[in-house]
Structure 1
Amino acid sequence: MNQELLDRLGRVTEEEQRILDGTAGIEKKLYASGEEFTIDYAKLLETGQLITVRTHTRFAHFPMHRHNYVEVMYICQGSVTHIINRKKIRVSRGELLFLNQYTRHEILPAGRNDIAINFVILPEFFDVASEMIGTNNVLADFIVNTLRQDERRGEYLYFKVADVLQIQNLIENMIYSLISQKENGGEPFLLQRMNRINQTTMGLIFMYLLEAVPKAGTMEPDSYENMILMTSLQYIEQNYRTATLTELCAGLCLPSHTLSRMIKKASGVNFKELLQRKRLNKAVGLLCDTDLPVNDIIDAVGYENHSYFHRIFRERYQMTPKEFRNRHRKDSRIRL
C-alpha cells in the first residue's frame, strides 16, 4: 500500500486517544442505538449513501456485536483477530474478511501498527457486482445472503489474497476514492461517476476473488434456498417494471404460497418488498442522474399509482422525491 495513504490511515483518532488515555473503552453510543450492541449503519452512513469506509478502532476489545449492514474488513498492515462462533480468525495484511448482516462476532484489541479498514456497505451496493459475477458461485451466494436478517445464520467469507496484486490495487484505489469523497465532497456529477466506478470496482474485486475461492474460509447457509432467491432476484432485476409473483411462480413451477414462504425465509422479506426495493433504487438513480419529471420516473419504474409511490418513497427516505433530488444536488451527495 502507498506509504502516504498508510500513514494517513495510521493516525490515532480521537476515540483511540481516549482509549490510550484510559478515559474510555469502546463507546457504544458512537456505533449503536438501543441496549443491544447492534452497530447501526445510520450512525455511520450519510443519508442516501450505500457505502463508506472507516479505520478500525485499535487498542480496545470490541465486545460481541453484530451489524445491520454488510462489513468488509481489509488489513492494510499488521493483523486483526476476530472471534466468530467461538473460532479465532486472524486476518493479516492484504487479506479480506466479509461479514454478512447480523453475523455475531467480537474483535480482540489491535496494536498501533495493526491498521485495518472497515467498509460499511448496504446490500444495494452489490447490485452491479451481482450482475458481473453471475450465479452458482460462493460470492453470488454471499450477495444473496446479504438480504438475510436471521442472526442464527450468520455468514462470513475470509480470503487470503495478499499475493493477488490485482485485488490489492483495486482495494487501495477504492479506499482512496471513498476517503477522498468523505473528506472533500465534490460536484454531484463527479460523485455520481465515482460511485459508479466504486460499484464496478467491487465487481472486479469479486471476479478476481472467484479465482481465489480455494483460498477462502467460509460459513455458508442452505444452497437450495440460495438458488431460489438468486433466481427471484435476477427475475426482479430484469423485469422490475412488470414483475409479478404469479409470473415468477410459473417460471419456477412452484405454487405461490410455497415460493412466498421460501423467499421470506431466505431473505427476511417477501416478494413485494424485494420488488419495491428494486423499483425505489431505480427511481433514486433517475432522480439523481436525470432531469426527468417525477411523474415520468414513477411510470418508468413500474408504478401506476402515483400516490402510492409518493407514500412508500416518503416512508423509506423521510422526504418527497422532489425534496430528495433537491437535497442531494444541494449537498453534493448522490445515492445510486
Structure 2
Amino acid sequence: MSSIITPTTRRQFLSFLAVSATAATAAAACGSAAGSSAAKKTTTLRYQGSVGQVTPAELAQDLGYLGGVKLKWVGNTISGPQDVQSAATGQTDFGGAFNGAVIKLQAAGAPITSVIGYYGVDRDQYGGFYVPDDSPVKAARDLTGKKVGMNTLGAHYEAVLDIYLQRNGFSAADIKKVEPLVVPPINTEQSLRQKQIDVGVLSGIFRDKALATGGLRKLFSDYDLLGAFTGGTYVFRDDFLKRNPETVRAFTSGVAKAIEWARTTPRDQVIDRFTKIVQTRGRNENADSLKYWKSYGVAGKGGVIADKEFTTWITWLEQQGQIAKGKVKVGDLYTNKFNPYAGGGS
C-alpha cells in the first residue's frame, strides 16, 4: 500500500488541504461522539514510512527505545501534509509534516497537536534548489515562468521558495509566475537531468547522491535563507493524546532518545544500522543511498520544540493570506510535556 498525494498545482493543493481539514474535523468529531468513553487504549501505532529511508520513529523501534509500544507500517508517503491528514482522520495514529502544514491544518479545524520535532535543517541536512550546470537560471529573476520540482505543495519547500522570491523583490503576482510541481524525491534528480523541470529540490541522501554524480549547481537552500532549525514535527490527534497519554509518552521518549543516538553515534555506525533496518524490513527497497546520510537536522535536543519553529511560518502564512491574522496561537500547536528532554532533562 502506498499513499502519495496527487494534486500537482498550488490551487489544487490548497483545495485538497481545505477538504482534508474538514474531513479530519468531522472524523474526529464522529470518533469522539461514538465512543470516547469506551474507546480502547492502544500500544500499537499505525504510521506511514518513506522509501529507502529510516525515520526517527523507525530507528527508535529498532534500538528498543519504544518499550512496549509497537509500530505498524501501513504504507509509504512523500507528502507531510498528507501524512498528518491521515493521522487527523484516523487512518494512521501519528504523522509528520512541515510545521507550516501543521499550522494550516489546525487553523482549518483539524484537532491535532505536535509532540516532537523529527526533521530539520543544518549545515549537513538541508534542502537545496538545484539546476543543471548549463541552465540559464542563475538568479531569482530567472525563475519567472520556470517549473520547480519538490516533494509536495503547501509545505516546507514551497514556503522556502516563496521566502526566497520575496527577499529578492518578487511581488505576490510575480511569485505566481513561478510554478511549483510535485515530483517524488526519488525521481527529482532524473527529472532535472532530463529537463522535465527547470529546478529540483534535493535534500539528504538524494542530494548527496546527485551531487556525487556531478553536473548540478545550487541556486540556494533553506539553510542559506534561515540557518539551522527544526522544520517538522510528529503529530497525534487530540482525542488520541487524551486516551493514550502513556503510549504517547513512551513514543515521544523513544524518538527523542533515537534522535540523540543518531546525533552522538559515529556516522558509519548509524548508516550501518539504517542499512540493516532497510534490508530486513521487506519493503522491496534499495539501501544504496543510505551511505550519503549525514543528519536528521533536528535543532532541539531530543526533538524538543521551540516557539520560533512555528512563529516563523505563522507569520509567513498570515502574510500570504492563507490563515487569518491572529487566528493561530503558537501555544495551541504543540506540547513538550511528553518529552524527557524538555526543561533540560535527559
TM-score, normalising length: structure 1: 0.29
* Larger relative contact order (Cα-Cα within 8 Å, sequence gap ≥ 6): 2
Q: Which has the larger radius of gyration?
A: 1
